[in-house]
Amino acid sequence: MNFEEHAAKPLLRAVGIETPKGSLATTPDEAERIAAEIGPCVVKAQVPTGKRGKAGGIKLAATPAEARAHAEQILGMTIGEHAVEKLLIEAQVPIATEMYAAVINDPESKGPLLLFSAEGGMDIEEIAERHPNALVRLPIDIRKGLDRDALASALPKELPVDRAALVDTLACLYAAYVENDAELMEINPLVVTRDGKLVALDCKFVMDDSAIPRHEELAKLGSPDKLTALEARAKELGLKFIELDGDVGVLANGAGLTMTSMDAVRHYGGKPANFLEIGGESYTKAKPALELVLANPRVKALLVNFCGAFARTDVMAEGVVNAWQELKPDIPIVFTIHGTGEEEAIAMVKERLGIEPYDLMDDAVRAAVAAAKGASQ
């Protein structure tokens, strides 16, 4: 779950990292009032996406009237497909130097990775490209926590701020990452002010979705992922569905089998049209699941891959067969079925649809990919 800047910065303040004074505004009147209270300010669009400045969503204001004018301009604009409905009005900070700092979930080390660069104020991709040697990467053992001595040694020899103070701030950043079950906790830029203070001018926070039940109040401040119409329908049905841009529909039971099926589709030269799994308690929802897949006009062929233990394959197959006969879609369908109830399921598919399921998943995937390519030609 993504969090907008105004919701992320209190998490930094809670661990001792300073941020500029500011308040949230939803109207030009509020922006003008807040600016009158704090003086020269920055008017910042609040949307769960980056590159706000490049899109015109961040403006400096010297007076309350100027803050109002910027608010009138920014409110209602669209940045990264998100309509701007809120503004953060913050006091301007006398910047001496901009730096970059973050803690992320690292797929390579399978743990936290602290990133730091004395070059900040730009995207991490730009930093890595322009100054690859300036980007410090420090893997952290989640069981032992941050090694402050290792961090102090890993930082550049020349720093624009006291080394101990910077280590303290980065340690606080790691604490915020841990305490809030973050996938990403980023400060960009982390600035050194003209009087030597460290201040976080921006903060990006992404919470691990699986941790939402542990942070129910905080999660209320998050920005739910923008769903397509089909994804919204799936959520209502209690199905795990992600719409993709491919043309091979995938219907399988269990997240692992679904991902394996999608990987196989890609391996054999196809592109999956969706992630959709009906494992666990959802195994009886084969019919509405199939309706979701077929509602995508890009789908040119359908791969059905069932492997049941607790979930009976004949129950899942019956839902698919019923829906197929009712909807009468004009696309090829390919089955591979194994596990509990497979004899009944295979017999049903043969009898009612006249289709012979494949014994090997690879053969089924090849057939589905070939069918989709043939339909596209």
- Distance CA(85)–CA(105), nearest Å, equals 30
Q: Are 101 and 170 in contact (CB under 8 A)?
A: yes
Write the DSSP assignment of 250-271 as a string of letters: EEESSHHHHHHHHHHHHHTT--
Of 290, 341, 354, the residue nearest 313 (C-alpha): 341
Tell me if residue 365 falls in helix, strand or coil. Answer: helix
Q: Between the CA of residue 231 and those of 170, 208, 228, 274, 300, what are the distances in Å? A: 38, 20, 5, 10, 19
Q: Is 211 exposed, middle or buried (0-12, 13-18, 19+ CB in 10 A)?
A: middle
Q: 161-187: b or e for each residue (b if 16 or more CB lie within 10 Å)? A: beeeebbebbbbbbbbbbebebbbbbb
* Dihedral of alpha carbons 106, 108, 113, 119, sign: negative
The catalytic residues are: 100, 186
Q: Is 105 exposed, middle or buried (0-12, 13-18, 19+ CB in 10 A)?
A: middle
DSSP-derived pairing of the beta strands 204-207 and 95-106 = unpaired
- Distance CA(266)–CA(150), nearest Å, equals 42
Q: Is 225 exposed, middle or buried (0-12, 13-18, 19+ CB in 10 A)?
A: exposed
CA atoms within 13 A on the CB side of 336: 19
First to last CA, the chain: 40
